[in-house]
Structure 1
Amino acid sequence: MVKVSEAVPAVGVLLAELLAACAGGRLAPLVRVFHGAADVGAALVDAAVGKPDHVLFVGSVAVGRKVAVAAAAGGVGCTLELGGKDAAIVCADADVPSAVMAVAAGAFYHAGQCCVGVERVFVDAAVYDEFVAAMVKHVKENVSYGYTPAPVGGGTTDEGDAGDTRAAEPDATYGVATVAKQLTVIQEHVDAAVAAGATVLTGGKADGAFYQPTVLTFPAPTSTPALDVETFGPLLPIVRVASADAAVAAANATAYGLSAYIFTADTAAGGRLARRMATGGVVINDVFLHGLHSAVPFGGCRASGVGRTGGKEGLLGWTTTQTVVTAAAGVADDWAMRRSYEAKLAALRALYGRATA
């Protein structure tokens, strides 16, 4: 059973169409797509109503916690993929032009409405000025908002084959905010950042249903919603740090723990930094790759959720482990012996080594 967000019901329609077309339609009867608001989702999670075997929720931290409580009340397993405040770290030896392109893609993809989007960048002071100048130039020249043209062609040809459904060249990098209230959230984060000492270098305000691509700079790490709370918009805060160690400390100073990105010429050192990140996934010298490959586990920790999708871990998360132990027949006499202290101590020593009284 799949319940899609009421903010994007067309996703559910497309999902149903794809299932009908996949495998000759054999998958369609196995999946039911539901539409509706929170009451529909609550009914599906309710063990007395929806009777789920396992619940997977993708969404906000606040709603995810409600889902977890409802699942626990019914003794149902739960996988949560919640919000993120994903940080990118740009080390002193990073390839700055490459890092700029990757970070910009991570920050402005889908108008920043992506759980693994880059929401903070901590840049080593040695390359900070170069990175900021290159990012501002890149955003002004290459990042824009607007509507994407409709697909070219479509339908079928006279022979019954699918026609040309390739989209025309997009005239914008990203589109609208999915829900209007998000524009208010983004603006509040920008205004609070400026009050906390940030400088707006590009954008900084809404334009109708769009929010401008916005680059903020901070002279040092600080506490403000733009650095602490998920923004979910085309906002890129860039923070100067003294070292990679300082960047790790600042990146970990949040309740979230979904993803992180590290840019460095020394991939071995990048791997060591990655293992210090309090996140479920880390990508070195790129963005998003851990969420694109179905063979690797994906998920977060702390407020960003529990459990994994993808990979062996993701498949096992939907199963229940059962342990079966078989003893030889006719063990009644053995149970009588187990009542003695000496027999219990001997068993402990056999199981755990040198047990002492």
Structure 2
Amino acid sequence: MAGLEMEDLKFHNIINNTLRSSPTTHTVTNPRTESALWPCPIASPADFEDAVSSANRAFKTWKLTTLSERQTLLTKLASHLESHLSLLSQILALESGKSLLLSELDVRGAIAQCLHYADPTNALSDHIQFEDSSVKIIATHVPLGVVAAICPWNFPLILSNLKVVSSLVTGNRVIVKPSPFTPYAVLKWIELVAAEEILPLGVLQVLNGGADLGQQMTLHPGIAKVSFTGTIAVGKAVMAACAKTLKKVTLELAGNDACIVCADADLPKAVKSVAGGAFFNAGQVCVATKRVYVHESVYEEFARRLVEEVRGSYTVVEDASVPSVFGPVSNKVQFETVKRIVEDCKRGGYEIVTGGEVRESGKEEEKKGFWLEPTIVKGPPEDSMLVREEQFGPILPVLSWSDEDDVISRSNLANAGLGASVYSSDLAQAERIARRLDAGSVWINQAERPHMGAYFSGFKDSGFGGEMGKQGLLSYSYTQSIHFAK
């Protein structure tokens, strides 16, 4: 991290391509060390009103741009991100606790998103919906207006940029609200875009703030759509607030993802894949493997192999410059949540077969970061906190099953509708199980990793609407039907 000192960087809200400071700031803590980072400006209600006004003024001309023109700008955004890869990766590593390796993957993921939607085959285009001897009906896609992107902290740039590129390629303007736990890289990225004047005034803006700013976004009549990624409870509040002005809304919410390992699974491959699905980024992934159900005939062998894999491949590495896919819990609030789950397992006497130790902070000058060892718990009860709630951290329950109907019923919790995975050598069996799981995405013989070309959505409590793929762009557009008489 040499060369990146706290005093070297300043951060601003970006409104109408100009830097906006604030007398009110907050400071984020480095999750690896618990040391304070940079002062970060908190947007005022006046800042928000200015951003909305600027975005709506931009609508008059931006909505007239062609798809080709917008895609050219996405290509420029990709090049811009590439040129600032090192700086943004270092900022991300400091604010999120990720290693530089994972932080660079975050930036490169954003670059890939820009290039994906810059490809004409991946964007919405006019098409004939119906035609007969009397009529031809064309579907065309019209931008909604101003999109408010309310973003999470686990992948700050990827998950913000997904909402940005989806908005831009469909002709919308977007105001980004990064998570107050990880505001820095997103603020700096949009500042750099503004400095280069890549986009017209008011098309892309960013405001840092907390729940009050998010609430303003959901209620303001000048916002046409809210795209929110976060918890179920907050998602319900967002949806209720958006209903007051009939805003369009997309919600990606909790995913207590189930993984089903069948008796005939290739155990060496399955174990390695499940470990990655569960402990990549310390389990802080929306579709991370959160619960593993293993057929009773291979349960003990699977559990033994999984412990060996996790002990060998997922360890605490304090130096962020050392390549690692495992890191600390990203913030104090989530750290306390995962600690409560670990403590509940210990109180319940559940079998913790590896991990379970929390590295507590000492005195103020001896702070050590939000570290929790990768933890595996064998056979906790179905009604335990660890099984019923989404842990979003490095602790994993491994449970046994014998009957297919029973394991599907146990897998299909209301908060488990985002993703799932199935491991079996019998692909017909794997697909049969996959089709019975109440999840928006199911992966067979692989860890859960969303693909930009596939629609990504949550069932039940895990979301409303979806993003990615061509279908995801429909939620950023009105579809207009134009009828031609013959």
TM interval, shorter chain, is: 0.7 to 0.9
1:295 corresponds to 2:295: no
Q: Using a 3 Å threshold, how does the CA distance of structure 1 residues 236 and 21 change in structure 2: closer, same or farther?
A: farther
Q: Kindly indicate whether residue 326 of structure 2 is the aligned counterpart of residue 178 of structure 1.
A: no
Instruction: Return the offset for 1:148.
Output: 4.3
Residues 88 and 121, structure 1, Cα contact 8 Å, conserved in 2: yes
3-state SS in 2 of match to 1:52: coil
CA contact (8 A) 2:270 2:445 kept: yes
1:1-357 equivalences in 2 (<5 Å): 1-16=175-190, 19=193, 25-26=198-199, 30-48=203-221, 51-150=222-321, 169-170=322-323, 172-196=324-348, 198-208=350-360, 209-218=370-379, 222-289=382-449, 291=450, 293-323=451-481
Q: Tell me how many residue pairs correspond in the alignment.
A: 303
The unaligned stretches of length 5 or more in structure 1 are 151-168, 329-357
Offset from partner CA, 1:144-177 (integer Å, 9 cap, x none): 1233444xxxxxxxxxxxxxxxxxx41x442221
Q: Within 2, Cα distance between the matches of 1:311 and 1:134?
A: 36
Post-superposition shift, 1:122?
0.2
Closer, same or farther in 2 for the Cα pair 1:254/1:303, shift >3 Å?
Answer: closer
Give, as a single letter, the amino acid of the residue that structure 1 aligns with 2:479: T
Q: Which amino acid aligns with 2:276?
A: A
Question: Per-residue displacement from partner, 1:124-158 (whole Å, max 9, x unpaired)?
Answer: 001101100001111111111233444xxxxxxxx
By relative contact order (CA 8 Å, sep 6+), the higher-ranking structure is: 2
Report the CA distance between 1:29 and its aligned residue: 5.2
Deviations 1:93-112 (A, max 9, x none): 00111111111111111111
Q: Are 2:414 and 2:461, in contact at CA under 8 Å, matched by a contact in 1? A: no
Question: 1:325 Cα deviation (Å)?
Answer: 6.2
| Counterpart Cα distance in 1 of 2:229 and 2:193 | 20
CA drift of 1:283 comes to 0.4
How much has 1:77 moved relative to structure 2?
0.7
Task: Give me the whole-angstrom Cα distance separating, in 2, the residues matched to 1:20 and 1:147.
Answer: 35
Could you give the per-residue CA deviations for residues 255-295 of structure 1, whole angstroms, max 9, x where no partner exists? 33110010111112111111100111100011133x1x211
Deviation at 1:64, TM superposition (A): 0.9
User: In the alignment, what sits opposite 1:162?
Assistant: none
Asked whether the 8 Å contact 2:299–2:400 carries over to 1, the reply is yes
- Provide TM-score, normalisation by structure 1: 0.79
SS at the partner of 2:437?
Answer: coil
Moved more, 180-189 or 270-279: 180-189
Q: Tell me the CA shift for residue 254 of structure 1.
A: 3.9
> Which one has the bigger strand percentage?
2
1:12 positional shift: 1.5
In structure 2, distance between residues paired with 1:27 and 1:228? 47
3-state SS, counterpart of residue 275 of structure 1: helix
1:315 and 1:264, CA in 2 relative to 1: closer, same or farther beyond 3 A? same
- Cα–Cα, structure 1 residues 322 and 25, in superposed 2: closer, same or farther, change >3 Å? closer
SS at match of 2:304: helix
> Deviations for 1:63-113, whole angstroms, at most 9, x for unmatched residues?
111111111111111000011101111000001111111111111111111
Give distance in 1, aligned partners of 2:372 and 2:329. 7
3-state SS of 1:210 partner: coil
Change (3 A) 1:320 1:284: same
1:36-78 deviations in Å (ceiling 9; x for gaps):
1111111122233xx1111100011111111111111111110
Q: Specify whether residues 31 and 146 from structure 1 end up closer, same or farther in structure 2 by C-alpha distance, changes over 3 A only.
A: same
Q: 1:14 Cα deviation (Å)?
A: 4.6
Secondary structure of 2:477's counterpart equals coil
Letter in 2 for 1:145: V
- Equivalent residue of 2:301, what SS? helix
SS at match of 1:100: helix
Per the TM alignment, residue 187 of structure 1 is displaced from its structure 2 partner at its CA by 2.4
- Structure 1 residues 224-271: Cα deviation after superposition (integer angstroms, max 9, x where no partner): 111111111101110011134332121113433110010111112111
User: Cα distance, 1:222 vs. partner?
Assistant: 1.8
Q: Structure 1 residue 28: deviation in Å?
A: 7.9
Classify the secondary structure of the residue corresponding to 1:238: strand
Q: Is the 8 A contact 1:124 1:244 kept in 2?
A: no
Native 8 Å contact 2:442 2:448 kept in 1: no
Give secondary structure in 2 for the equivalent of 1:283.
strand
Distance across 2 between alignment mates of 1:66 and 1:315? 24
Give the Cα separation in 2 of the matches to 1:254 and 1:238.
19
Give the conservation status (yes or no) of the 8 Å contact 1:104–1:135: yes
Provide the rounded CA distance (Å) in 2 between the counterparts of 1:122 and 1:28: 52
Report if the CA contact (8 A) 1:47-1:76 is conserved.
no
CA shift for structure 1 position 183:
2.3
- Name the SS for the 1:261 alignment partner: strand
Conserved in 2, the CA contact under 8 Å of 1:187 and 1:204?
A: no
